[in-house]
Structure 1
Amino acid sequence: MKPNKDFEELKPPTFGLLLRKLRDTRGVSRERLAFNAGVSASYISHLEKGDRGHPTREVVDALVRYLDRIDPLSVVERRHLLDLAGLGVSEFPSIQQLRAEITDDMRRALDLHEPNLAAYIDTRWNVLACNQSYARAFPGLAEDVNILRWYLSNDKAREVMLEWEEEVRLTVHWLRGLIASSGDTAWSADFLAELGRFGLFREIWDDGIAAYGRPNSVMHLADDVTGRCRAIDVQLFSVFSAAYPTQIQIFLGIPTWCADTGVPLDPGHPSLTPDE
């Protein structure tokens, strides 16, 4: 997939941009929202333009109460708005810092999960360590480090991910939610600049949709050797770390050969054959 070099700079999600979107979709003017939330219209304007700092909890609650009266916010919209307001901010450690937390015992545990797929990943989907089954299932991912980078820039991702575009779309939506919940836009600005070279990423990002998890636990992969469809039942568990208690997860994938799932096999993978 070739990057698109002709583009405008992508920006991380902000409280103001989301507030404007929620207000516009409900047909509410700044003046009307301000009056009902007990603030000035100029304050709403400054919030939406990003000219003011994070609003207080009281202000956010007042804005949400009125928007809810017009049309209730979804659970995701509510969480996304609160996250962008800086309520629950944390900073991300570097990949090197997180990898230093993976002990020899933890690495041995990955091997004990063979032949199931197992890896330690951070909450930004950077691979910190993995077993051989994981590396074979996602060829090149350990070297590319990040799942979105692998999806968009590595041809192997298209070959093995039978629902490639659906997985890309989910992960981009998840990235928007992640940036909001972290409050750490320094890393996200650089990451968006990298991923923004790809037209599909820009298209999905412009949807403005946030997600906070997978809608189902199963992903479908083509075996890199035989080409046969495998259904991977994915589970994620938090891993205790004294230094970074919420940043490391273990990915466990239990593979089975696909039965009659209706999942289309990739026509670009000539070795693909259905189960007998």
Structure 2
Amino acid sequence: MADNPLGDFLRARRSGLRPEDVGMTSYGVRRVAGLRREEVAVLAGVNADYYTRLEQGRERHPSPQVLDALSRAFHLDTDAHTHLHRLAGTAPADHPVPPRNTVSPALRQLMDGYPHTPAFVLNRTLDILATNALADALYSPFDPADNLARMTFLDPAGRDFYTRWDWTAQAAVANLRQAAGYDPDDPRLNALIDTLTERSTVFSTLWQAHTVRGKTREAKQLNHPDVGPLTLTYQAFDVRDAPGQQLVIYHAEPGSPSAEALSLLGAVDATKRHMPSGPRTAPRAE
């Protein structure tokens, strides 16, 4: 990870805005895209030299008031605003219990209680920690179904499985950026980012954009080789006794073609699992 994440984030946000985006008049020849530092300083009501020092890492302890002003200047949404504070060390303290990558038996039992809809548990780095049977079937095209970011960028099945691949890729990178705000020194996160950066130019480009976003409720557009197109909505729930874990439950509109396809997928998976010669194609990640 870079040693100036706050400055990197500010530069990326500045380069992504044009004067007209923030109600300013453009003047002079612009050598690079985006706002000038002086323009950001005006929008945020801070000294231009002070803002420059923030970007360059010579000032690393801005006040919450300055961060709020910069957030307004950059039109940051809630996730990005929280991320900005976290990078500067001013976010409210997170739960003191360290993250863990084991899923409790009670949560596994709860997931198995949803036989007609996929359910799985993620950590902040998008590792799949546990799945129910239908989630195994849903992600069976991947080998292995271990991490949503790796599956998106590096698994050959990704581009066929995710109908809106570009959107899925952007969302995965934004989720990892949010994870970096929690713990930029996390060895697992850094190893994943290094691997994806080395092996995917698309990931590398998106990573440099510093877009931050948590889980949304936008519908997933998927294409499963066994049952065809699927449109699924989902809910993500924080696991109270395991900070950093989320329970994700997919859902198809009742009576829709996607609901029928999910039902068929469950039947196909059940048949495969009961065949003597065939192990499950997507074993649960521990």
Indicate whether the TM-score tops 0.5: yes
Counterpart CA distance in 1 for 2:219 and 2:143 is 21
Is residue 139–residue 157 contact of structure 1 (8 Å, CA) maintained in 2?
Answer: no
Cα–Cα, structure 1 residues 106 and 141, in superposed 2: closer, same or farther, change >3 Å?
Answer: farther
Offset, 1:66: 7.0
Partner of 2:186: 186
Counterpart CA distance in 2 for 1:139 and 1:152 is 16
Partner of 1:206: 208
Is residue 140–residue 150 contact of structure 1 (8 Å, CA) maintained in 2?
Answer: no
Counterpart CA distance in 1 for 2:196 and 2:203 is 7
Cα–Cα, structure 1 residues 45 and 234, in superposed 2: closer, same or farther, change >3 Å?
Answer: same
Instruction: Note the residue ranges of structure 1 that are not aligned, 5 or more in a row.
Output: 1-9, 260-276
The question of 1:15 aligning with 2:6 is answered: yes
Partner of 1:62: 66
Residues 175-215 of structure 1, C-alpha deviations (whole Å, 9 max, x = no match)? 223322x043333332221110201111222333222332x
Offset, 1:14: 1.2
Cα–Cα, structure 1 residues 104 and 28, in superposed 2: closer, same or farther, change >3 Å?
Answer: closer
Counterpart CA distance in 1 for 2:201 and 2:149 is 13
Counterpart CA distance in 2 for 1:87 and 1:118 is 34
Counterpart CA distance in 1 for 2:6 and 2:46 is 16
Counterpart CA distance in 1 for 2:10 and 2:61 is 12
The question of 1:251 aligning with 2:248 is answered: yes
Is residue 139–residue 156 contact of structure 1 (8 Å, CA) maintained in 2?
Answer: no
Offset, 1:155: 1.6
Cα–Cα, structure 1 residues 193 and 13, in superposed 2: closer, same or farther, change >3 Å?
Answer: farther
Partner of 1:143: 144
One-letter code of the match for 2:61? P
My pick for the range that moved more, 74-83 or 132-141, is 74-83
Partner of 2:163: 162
One-letter code of the match for 1:15? L
- Give 1:26-175 correspondences, 5 Å limit: 26-29=35-38, 37=46, 41=49, 44-52=51-59, 54-56=60-62, 58=63, 60-62=64-66, 64-65=68-69, 68=72, 71=73, 73-76=75-78, 77-88=80-91, 90=94, 93=98, 97-99=100-102, 102-139=103-140, 143-175=144-176
Instruction: Note the residue ranges of structure 2 that are not aligned, 5 or more in a row.
Output: 16-33, 260-286
One-letter code of the match for 1:106? L
Counterpart CA distance in 1 for 2:205 and 2:142 is 23
Offset, 1:132: 1.5
Cα–Cα, structure 1 residues 92 and 174, in superposed 2: closer, same or farther, change >3 Å?
Answer: farther
Offset, 1:133: 0.7
Is residue 11–residue 189 contact of structure 1 (8 Å, CA) maintained in 2?
Answer: no
Cα–Cα, structure 1 residues 136 and 63, in superposed 2: closer, same or farther, change >3 Å?
Answer: closer
Is residue 119–residue 249 contact of structure 2 (8 Å, CA) maintained in 1?
Answer: yes
Offset, 1:225: 1.4
Residues 54-106 of structure 1, C-alpha deviations (whole Å, 9 max, x = no match)? 414x3x413643784xx463334433321211223658956xx321xx23332
Cα–Cα, structure 1 residues 240 and 207, in superposed 2: closer, same or farther, change >3 Å?
Answer: closer
Offset, 1:23: 5.7
Three-state SS of the structure 1 residue aligned to 2:101 is helix
Is residue 5–residue 87 contact of structure 2 (8 Å, CA) maintained in 1?
Answer: yes
Give the fraction of aligned pairs with identical amino acids, expressed as a percent.
Answer: 16
TM, length-normalised to structure 1: 0.70
